[in-house]
Amino acid sequence: MKSVSDLRGEVDTWRKFEGHLHDLMELARLDDDSLRSDLEFEISALETDLEKRAFTTMLSGSYDDDDALLAIHAGAGGTDSQDWAAMLERMYLRWADTRGFKTEVLDRTEGEEAGLKSVTIAVNGKYAYGYLRSEKGVHRLVRLSPFDAAHRRHTSFALVEILPQVAMDDTEIEINPNDIKMDVFRSSGAGGQNVQKNATAVRLTHIPTGIVVTCQNERSQLQNRENAMRVLRARLLEIQHAEKEQEIAVLRGEYTKAEWGSQIRSYVLHPYQMVKDHRTEFETGNTQSILDGDLEALMEAYLRKSGS
């Protein structure tokens, strides 16, 4: 029913587009100079709409139009990398907000001094996964460290994971309840009222793969378990797809192992300002705009290249 509803909505928007185009053609046939400025404005808007529609045809993967799970992990580098992970969290939350996507923090581990060690966020909205899959990989930051007394230049790394949110009835992923070990513990926090007195945090271990998922953001143990299962299903699907892609790449003779150091994008704040995507060679000097969540150009450059 969800698939039927989505397809019906898609067809309806194209029919409205067709109707709008037909109306403009009828007006143009009147050859009335007084309508020229209005027609030019409407045609320009129609062209912009068509360009957006053409772009969404690149988002045709199995899960591109679905919700996504976004996970950020601080790399080696201590406080600087943990602060960088927090900066990335802010960047993606702002991007999601500007697109009208809903976000929910499922699990968050704070850094010792600042920033965060890791965070998992559910991003819900049409094509959330399709857009966000361009962000998967290692992100590198170069700046003068605010945590270094000598104010020296530091390089920090953070890993961004993008996973599709898998529906519970998706037959592609089946989990045997006997394969899951569940532990409960008290949520960690900043102290005071933020710390749960009851054991509501949940840790799930998938025994066959060794995948461990924790969730501690909700006050209910049941809610945390449900959220942890969402993440576990997404991770198992990712492994399944990665194994298939690896097999195909090996057969084609083009398989290369993904290493931690192979960053997809660099954000340089010193000695000059630049954000560069190493996969597309797209770069911009407006680093503040990017860190404030203006990621459309970067995402579109990647999707256009990967779809070409």
- Report how far residue 78's alpha carbon sits from residue 81's, in angstroms, rounded to the nearest whole number: 6
Angle at 295 between CA 255 and CA 301, to 5 degrees: 50
In this structure, are 145 and 286 located in the same domain? yes
In this structure, are 84 and 158 located in the same domain? yes
In this structure, are 116 and 205 located in the same domain? no
61 within some domain: no
In this structure, are 140 and 285 located in the same domain? yes
- Report how far residue 197's alpha carbon sits from residue 131's, in angstroms, rounded to the nearest whole number: 39
272 within some domain: no
pLDDT at 250: 63
More confident residue, 79 or 245: 79
Coil/strand/helix, residue 28: helix
Q: Please give the order of strands across the beta sheet that includes 201-206.
A: 180-185, 201-206, 211-215
pLDDT band (50, 70, 90) for residue 172: confident
pLDDT at 116: 95
In this structure, are 13 and 144 located in the same domain? no
DSSP per-residue string spanning 128-193 = HHHHHGGG-EEEEEEEE-TT-TT--EEEEEEEEEEEEPPPTT-TT----GGGEEEEEEPPP-SSGG
Strand duo 153-164 + 137-144: pairing: antiparallel
> pLDDT tens, 23-78?
999 989 988 888 889 999 999 999 988 887 877 778 888 889 889 999 999 997 78
Mean predicted confidence (pLDDT) in 165-183: 82
In this structure, are 138 and 189 located in the same domain? no
pLDDT band (50, 70, 90) for residue 193: very low
In this structure, are 154 and 299 located in the same domain? yes
93 within some domain: yes
Coil/strand/helix, residue 22: helix
Q: Taking the CA atoms of 254, 258, 264 and 269 in sequence, report the sign of the dihedral they define.
A: negative
Strand duo 263-268 + 274-277: pairing: antiparallel
pLDDT at 103: 97
63 within some domain: no
Instruction: Say yes or no to pLDDT of 248 above 70.
Output: no
In this structure, are 214 and 234 located in the same domain? yes
Lowest mean pLDDT among 60-69, 235-244, 252-261, 267-276: 252-261
In this structure, are 213 and 236 located in the same domain? yes
Instruction: Say yes or no to pLDDT of 100 above 80.
Output: yes
pLDDT at 194: 46
225 within some domain: yes
In this structure, are 159 and 101 located in the same domain? yes
259 within some domain: no
pLDDT at 264: 94
At 90, which CATH number? 3.30.70.1660
At 204, which CATH number? 3.30.160.20
pLDDT at 249: 65
Instruction: Say yes or no to pLDDT of 257 above 60.
Output: no
Number of domains in the chain: 3
269 within some domain: no
Find the domain containing 21 and state its range: 2-51
In this structure, are 77 and 147 located in the same domain? yes
Mean predicted confidence (pLDDT) in 169-192: 78
In this structure, are 290 and 233 located in the same domain? no
